[in-house]
Amino acid sequence: MQGAGTGEVGLFIDLENIRYSCLNVYQIEPNVSGFIEKARKHGRVSVAMAYADFSEHPQWVRRGLDVAGIAARDIPLRRFVREGQERLKSSADLHMLMDIMETALDRPQVSTYVIMTGDSDYIRVITWIKNRFDKRVIVAGVPGTISADLVMAAGEADHLEASIGTTSDELMPTVEAIALMVKASLPPTGFWTVKLIDQWSRDTRNGVPGSDPDKSNAISYMLRNGLLRRYKTVTEIREVTISELDETHELVRRFIGTAGLEFEPLPLRCRACCARNAAEASACAGCGAAIVRAADAPAHPVVVAQETPEP
């Protein structure tokens, strides 16, 4: 087995695991260009691939991978219905496993494998390439989300730390512009989702300032601090999670007031039945459930959709 910094390196990125882990742990988007720099520390990178359904991620993520020389392996989610609800199943991890195995078999000059994930599903392939092909394996995941057994199987770790990015104060113009965009506009669906907010914020016609990562970080800030609230609802087709401004939030009220827009007369939405209620309501007029205000609500983490096993 060759030492550190020698030989060729293969970089394999479980993008969904890494991106959502960064959002959950650091509350910021990952530094995509930093992926290749991490791998270069261990030798010359001759294989570099990232796996995800890229329709589920901002366009700048794929562009950043392209600029860094990382091939984007687009693996669409598989959709099926169980108990009347649409479910999603990702097979990106299977494709990544197969590419790691094919590289070990077909490209013997690759002596070091940098595996970016925290998922224990990769333990078997890691032990296989180590034991059968005498390869060096380095796990690079987000601290706090990594399987201890995965690191033990690899024997080495070089984890991804939070990069120094835009501060909350610097994000505020972007946050304000997104809040006003959501307040003043309505997409064709009749409701906002996080994905639609993200897409619209990148449309130059909407005048949202900042880089694409800044816009994603601004949306994460709004979710985490309660400027945006999310509610599950069922349409004629499937269950969706809608997003809307919490107009009882101090910052949202300041943005709307400064822009001279009208406030929503029924700004409080019941978490139990989604009915709207007046600002002074303590219980929902529709179902009687207690109303939770922004000041009382827990912090809003970035929610990662969990895969559902196939029936």
Per DSSP, helices labelled H in 110-167 are 123-133, 148-154
Q: 252: closest CA among 276, 225, 216, 217?
A: 225
Question: Rounded to an integer, what distance in angstroms lies between the CA atom of residue 270 and that of residue 253?
Answer: 19
Residues 138 and 252 in one domain: no
Q: Which amino acid is at 186?
A: L
199 and 113 within one domain = no
Containing structural domain, residue 234: 168-265
Q: Which token pair is 65?
A: 């991978």
pLDDT of residue 300: 38
Angle between helix 168-184 and helix 212-224 axes, rounded to 10 deg = 80
- Whole-number Å distance between alpha carbons of 194 and 229: 10
Number of domains in the chain: 2
| 3-class state of residue 113 by DSSP | strand
Using the CB atoms, write b or e for 145-162: b if 16+ within 10 Å.
bbbeebbebbeeebbbee
Would you state the structure tokens that stand for residue 254, as one six-digit string? 């300041």
List, for residues 25-74, the tens digit of each pLDDT value: 887 888 888 899 999 999 999 999 999 999 888 888 999 999 999 999 99
Judge if 31 and 121 occupy the same domain.
yes
Same domain flag for 105 and 26: yes
CA 20 from chain centre, in angstroms, equals 4
Give the domain-ending residue among 265, 288, 306: 265
Q: What is the tens place of the pLDDT at every residue in 89-111?
A: 778 999 999 999 999 999 999 99
Q: Is residue 311 part of a domain?
A: no
The pLDDT tens digits for 185-238 are: 988 888 898 889 988 998 999 999 998 888 988 988 898 888 998 887 766 656
Taking residues 158-174, report their average pLDDT: 78
So what's the pLDDT on residue 311?
36
Query: Does residue 240 belong to any structural domain of this protein?
Result: yes
Which residues are CB-contacts of 235 (< 8 A; sequence separation ≥ 6)? none
Q: Between the CA of residue 216 and those of 6, 34, 200, what are the distances in Å?
A: 37, 17, 11
Q: What is the CATH number of the domain that holds 249?
A: 1.10.10
Average pLDDT score over residue span 242-251: 90
Of 35, 34, 29, give the one whose Cα is nearest residue 14: 35
Which one of 154, 181, 206 terminates a domain? Answer: 154
**84, part of any domain:** yes
